Structure 1
Amino acid sequence: MSSPLLQVENLTAGYGPVPVLQDVGFEVPAGTIAAVVGPNGAGKTTLLRALSGSLPAVQGTISVSGTSLRGVPTEKLVHHGVAHVPEGRGVIGELTVDENLRLGGLWRKDRADAARAVAEMYEMFEPLARRRDSSGHQLSGGERQMLAIGRALVARPTLLLLDEPSLGLAPRIVDLIMTTLRDLRDRTGLTVVLVEQNAHSALPISDQAIVLSLGRVAVATSAAELAHDPEFRTAYLGF
């Protein structure tokens, strides 16, 4: 397996005097998908917020490709190859699909490649091509999720932090999104940290499973091993 792209050590973070995450540590090799799973309230979304800098860490280290990202402003993470798609999708409703996608590449100096990246998103997510002139307010939930992911990918990240992409979506849209993530990993070497309540969808496309329970890493193992371990599934995933 390749060397770690993301390294997290002794990460503690939360919203008040009592931390949600406590001494969390794990590594994600380059070119792999790590599924972060666990029961509600385990700290999965808090973890992504801490990794993206939208929630300051109390202690610990976060590094990508050997560079410390703790304390780096969220808006600067894209310059370090990190993109975060939060739960709720974050599409700008007043802008069209095309404007939202182009927004993802505004910071890039290579304007020609930014334009190519937008074109690639239309090929990857065909429903968006049909709605390119529609405003974000006019999109379905599935289309908004595709647009949020597409906008993040226009930045050409090496690490994608993705929070609950299947939430509230029809199974066929979930399948499309999961298949796209797997294909991106295989074709481009994209590294993904995927927070997902729906372990049935996340584990089959993932290389690694990180199970959070009560703000700590309960187990970190291969996704295939977790999927076939009834004891862990029952204890932490409820199936």
Structure 2
Amino acid sequence: MSNAGDLLKVEGLTAGYGAAPVLHEVTLSVGAGRIVAVLGANGAGKTTLLRTLSGLLPLAAGRVMFDGLDLRGVKVEKMVRHGIAHVPEGRGVVTELTVDENLRLGGLWRKPREPLDEIYDLFPALAQRKNHLGHQLSGGERQMLAIGRALAAKPRLLLLDEPSLGLAPKITSQIMGLLRDLRDRTGLAVLLVEQNVRSALSIADEGIVLNLGRIAAREKADKLADDADLRHAYLGF
């Protein structure tokens, strides 16, 4: 499902840790204003995929293109300048900094510096706690802060790893709704790794199922959600 307007193109990607590949010849694409959900069991290679795309892991083979730029060898710190933001699993925030300082850290590479009003509009809970330290936040607030910090860099592509992990359904619903709104309103592209399959497919345009590091299925999200055999075989529901 690739076309000339794709923002991210991944072709034959093989990657892993040391001499042991985790991903094998993965090919996918993400267009501007599209959400692509990456699904699969634990150990399928989902997190490895995002870590490779963001430059944290090297490619063993294949090619990753972002808006015509070959990302092989691009340093991690340069990714954000090219318009790619990665929110890893685990709600990583700098706990010794305030909410406001964390968000300003996310926008550090933007010149000139832009106000954070838009981020606070997206996350009213953060606006109320802007002077609180990261360790004083709830799990849901930390996830909002991690996403807000990534958005402060004004990315064109957001790589998002397990945003609902450990969160209450209400907070999960808020985050998924926010992603859908950003896609529709700003044209943000999202590659979403998510264990909550139903939530992910409810907002995604396309779903990709990874199994043992290979793509087992790739369909429009609604079609994938309706495919009972596929869901039972790979997604557990």
Same fold by TM-score greater than 0.5: yes
The match for 1:236 among 227, 234, 237 is: 234
Contact 1:2 1:31 in 2 (8 A): no
* 2-structure distance, mates of 1:176, 1:69: 32
* Aligned-partner Cα distance in 2 for 1:89–1:141: 8
1:46 aligned residue? 48
Which whole-Å deviations, capped at 9, do the CAs of 1:155-211 have from their partners, x for residues lacking one? Answer: 110000000000000111000000000000000000000000110110000001011
Alignment identity in percent? Answer: 65
Residue of structure 2 in register with 1:181 after alignment: 179
* Partner of residue 25, structure 2: 23
Matching residue's letter, 1:70: R
Is contact 1:13–1:56 with CA below 8 Å preserved after alignment?
A: yes
Where does 1:4-83 land on structure 2 (aligned, <5 Å)? 4-83=6-85
Amino acid paired to 1:59:
A
Matches within 5 A, 1:87-236: 87-111=89-113, 114-115=114-115, 118-236=116-234
The answer to whether the Cα contact below 8 Å between 1:11 and 1:59 also exists between their aligned partners in 2 is: yes
Letter in 2 for 1:220: R
Give, as a single letter, the amino acid of the residue that structure 2 aligns with 1:164: E
| Separation of aligned partners in 2, 1:5 and 1:227 | 25
Quote the Cα distance in structure 1 between the aligned partners of 2:69 and 2:22.
Answer: 25
The C-alpha deviation readout for 1:123-170, integer Å capped at 9, x for no partner, is: 111110111000001001100000000000011100000000000001
* C-alpha deviation, 1:122, in angstroms: 0.9
Q: CA deviation at 1:2?
A: 7.7
CA displacement, residues 9-62 of structure 1 (integer Å, 9 cap, x when unaligned): 110111132200011111112110000001111000000000000011111111
CA distance in 2, matches of 1:2, 1:161: 21
The SS at the match of 2:164 is: coil
Comparing 30-39 and 12-21, the one that deviates more: 12-21
* Structure 2 Cα separation of the partners of residues 152 and 4 of structure 1: 21
The number of residues matched between the two structures is 235
Quote the RMSD (CA, aligned, Å): 1.0
> Retained in 2: the 8 A contact 1:2–1:29?
no
* SS at structure 1 position matched to 2:86: strand
Q: Secondary structure at the match of 2:59?
A: coil
Q: Secondary structure at the match of 1:13?
A: strand
Task: For residue 90 of structure 1, give the secondary structure of its aligned residue in structure 2.
Answer: coil
Amino acid at match of 2:19: P
Q: What TM-score do the two structures reach when normalised by structure 2? A: 0.97
Q: Which amino acid aligns with 2:153?
A: A
- Segments ≥4 residues shifted beyond 3 Å: none
Corresponding residue SS for 2:7: strand
